[in-house]
Amino acid sequence: MSNGRTLSTVANPKVETITLWKDFLALIKIGIVNSNLITTFTGLFLAFQFTGKSFLHNIDLLVFAILGTGLIIAASGALNNLIDRDIDPIMSRTKSRPTVTGRFKTPAVLTLAIVFLVAGEVLLFSASGMAGWLGIAGVLAYVVLYSMWSKRQHVSNTVVGSLSGAIPPLIGWAAVDPTLPMGAWALFLIMFIWQPPHFYALAMRRTEEYRAANIPMLPVVKGFERTKKSMLMWVLLLFPLPFLLQGLGTGFVVFATLLNVGWLYLAIKGFKAKEDLKWATSMFVYSLNYMTILFVSMIIFSLFI
């Protein structure tokens, strides 16, 4: 006779492990970690190229910078999930986060974040003092200035949040050259200016969810037309920045400018777009490709200087 249980109701350890791993990756925001490590590596690689230091003879700096940055960003992502666990259930893209479902409890998240943060900072300070201090600045900017302060109170929250997102390439550069010359700050400015139009495009797609969560994103407070004007302004601000990296050669300056022209053309098209959300999606996709292609191209062009 059956005891009422079926095979489908028996927990599968393998499935449970896979789900736990996926929840862990969601907790540390692995997508953000990976994208920021691209910019960190670019900063580090360009510093090697411009200083003439041997990349192969300084692999330890690569390990310290990449692993250390990855750990502090993961820690920051976990803390952000913890801070936002009261509003995440309202938004469809965040309602399945493990801090919402209860998969990861507050003590566990705090422990993981502290361990990752300390380990990451030890690695960054092992690379250079400047890399370590920049890491601390990035964490404070994301967790305190953005997550705990501006996100829920100010329409400028996206701009404030852009500070932390612009620091990883500085960390990478500082691991090799703590003096941080103009090239390093050019990467910082590119990342800082790139983020508002990127996140405004995402915010347009999620306007109603942000409104329901009472998050004062620009499209919620000022509307789509104002958001489009702001996105256009930020894209225009990108145009002078390739000239700060003339050490990569004229080819890079031309290539980067063409990428900017493409984004500008798309931004201008938004004012005549019949479907705002479709246009916002195209802007979001272009911004992702823009960042990846631009930073990979920096590495490629640096090989020929």
pLDDT digits (tens, 9 = 90+) for 62-115: 999 999 999 999 999 999 999 999 999 998 888 989 999 999 999 999 999 999
Q: pLDDT per residue over 211-250, tens digit each?
A: 999 999 999 999 999 999 999 999 999 999 999 999 999 9
pLDDT the model gives residue 13: 63
pTM: 0.92
Give every CB contact of residue 157 below 8 A, 6+ residues apart in sequence.
146, 150, 151, 215, 216, 217
Q: Does domain 14-180 have CATH number 1.10.357.140?
A: yes
85-88: Cβ within 8 A, 24+ apart: 87/152, 87/213, 87/214, 87/215
Cα–Cα distance for residue pair 46/52, rounded to 1 Å: 10
CA dihedral over 125, 78, 184, 288, signed as positive or negative: positive
The single residue listed with the structure tokens 């145009």 is: 239
Q: pLDDT per residue over 18-60, tens digit each?
A: 689 999 999 999 999 999 999 999 999 999 999 999 998 999 9
Instruction: Give the number of C-alpha atoms closer than 13 A to the C-alpha of residue 272, restricted to the C-beta side.
Output: 4
Domain limits, the chain: 14-180, 182-305
The residue among 235, 276, 229, 279 whose CA lies nearest residue 257 is 235
Q: What percentage of the chain's residues is helix, strand, coil (to nearest 5)?
A: 80, 0, 20
Run of H or E including 275:
none
